[in-house]
Amino acid sequence: MGIISQLWCCMAGPRLYRIYGRTQDQVEVEVYSPNALEKMGNKVIQGLYVMYNVGLYTAPIIVLSLYRWETFSHHSAVKLGTSLGLLLAVALVFRGVGRQLNPTYTNFLDVLATFDKAKKPTEQSLEILRRFDSDFSAWPSTFEWSDLQADDNKPRLYVDRELSRRELGIVSRALRLPCEVIAYFLVHLIGRPLVYPGSVQLLQFAVGDFVLNGREQLVRNKGGKRNKIIARDGNAIDTMFIDRRKDSQTPHGKTLVVCCEGNAGFYEIGIAATPLEAGYSVLGWNHPGFGGSTGAPFPSQERNAVDAVMQFAIHGLGFKEEEILIYGWSIGGYTSTWAAMNYPQIAGLILDATFDDVLPLALLRMPEFLGSLVRVAITRYLNLNPGHQLAKYPGPVTIIRRTRDEIITTDDTQLRCNRANNLMLMLMESRYPQLITTQSTEVLLHWLSEDPAFQGSIMSEWNVDSDLCSSLLASYTTQHGESYPMTIGEDMNDDEKTRLLLYLASKYLVDFNSTHNNPLDPHLFRKPWRPLTDSYVQVD
């Protein structure tokens, strides 16, 4: 019975990839080498896995083809299913026997067996487990939402949106329910994979080696530590922490950067490289359904995930809220603005290549006749609205606009169509409402539409005096503090409001001459400006 139990553990156990050996000065890496039996089993299982996923996404075509194939009967389908099932069973046995004969793998299983699911693992025991890089499913959780240390009673803010029938393009109330039913299937079959392609298993399979090598580099060269945290909804979130607090060679090691990746990004090969190169401590995490994280990247699960990550950073890693920077790239602007809105004492928020609302971008990329369905699908199931959440965050912000961005724009030949402009306008309207007039808004949009090389001429045309604007802000914040919305500008004329609004926009906006997917230059990654000091935030 013991042999059968061990064989079953080897058959169903997680796949092993790397073995790390830590020395005093460096981390040595050994690639795990499965024997011939395990290799054979893995190849067959991988092949069946690919067939399953291809079949899943092409099911309608396959069903239609089989229906028209007169020689294919129910009996044939049963025979095919049975054959594939037997092939899978044989492959699992081969893999189990191969692993059972491999002392490295059985040693890994012995380490896993020492963890008691009812108890939290100690850091010492986790260090032993971290010697092995494997599928994340069998790892114990390091931090759970239900932990007593977690701030379970902290009220959460939400900014939801419900469009009217007219806005949805639905004239009749009777059509609303059918549209919602169709939209539900549209989102789950097509919409979610299009909005979050990184959640598609075939894509993860295709980039698996790059992800694995990226994780190795973080562990080997940066001293990264992998942790599993459990969110409020039960999803397991795969995270990587690089601690620079004790490194005297890094200028910002005491500040933690929480990285929120894009729709096809993984912490292993994503945006974490920029703050790491700039000298910060970093906490990367994968969206639900990405990499080792479970679940699916729908808004509620995304919010629960980043909330658990922030709780882990504060209660699990020991960072104060004001020692945390949040960095969101592309669609990561949704989770980063939600986290900033709910943790307003953070050191700052950096939004890179981020949009204000996903709906205009979705409408542009879908056929016009599906407009009503797209509106229903987005507002009901994929309501990603970073702009509305940013308007609720009162802290320091930097908006990085990529001037050749081809993704978050409704026309990649026109800088004025970059949705980062809309994000900037929403920020200005929420923070400085007294400065918003017809004239100042038109001039601001004109300034945003110009190439950065010509923005200075607009500032000169309007006689924007940086020293005067800085003095006005310093005088106001000295009297009223740095709280939003500010009432500054209520006694100014339109020209004065326009000049001050242009000055403020130039402080919040950083232009980066790049397309959407290029890594951000580390010299552009800096703590956001704040009016109180007229300088960039310093918390180290």
- Other beta carbons within 10 Å of 85: 11
330 is catalytic: yes
- Contacts of residue 216, defined as CB under 8 A and 6 or more positions apart, other chains included, come to 18, 29, 133
480 is catalytic: yes
The residue behind tokens 């993860």 is: 204
Q: Which two tokens stand for residue 267?
A: 């912490």
Q: Which two tokens stand for residue 11?
A: 């058959």
Dist. CA 301–CA 286, nearest whole Å = 12
405 is catalytic: yes
Q: Do residues 292 and 228 make contact, with C-beta atoms less than 8 angstroms apart?
A: yes
Q: What is the DSSP letter of 325?
A: E
Residue 279 zone, left/alpha/beta (φ > 0; ψ -120 to 50; rest): left
Q: How far is CA 15 from CA 50, 88, 90, in A?
A: 17, 16, 17
DSSP 132-173: EEE-GGGSPPSEETTSTTS-TT-----------HHHHT---G
Residue 50: in which H helix or E strand, if any? helix 36-57
Among 134, 405, 440, 511, the one annotated catalytic: 405
- Contacts of residue 278, defined as CB under 8 A and 6 or more positions apart, other chains included, come to 252, 522, 523, 525, 526
Among 134, 199, 293, 330, the one annotated catalytic: 330
Q: How far is CA 489 from CA 364, 476, 533, in A?
A: 37, 10, 19
Dist. CA 483–CA 530, nearest whole Å = 11
Among 116, 152, 471, 480, the one annotated catalytic: 480
Q: Which two tokens stand for residue 254?
A: 């005491």
* Phi, psi for residue 20 in degrees, rounded to 5: -105, 130
Q: Which residues are catalytic?
A: 330, 405, 480
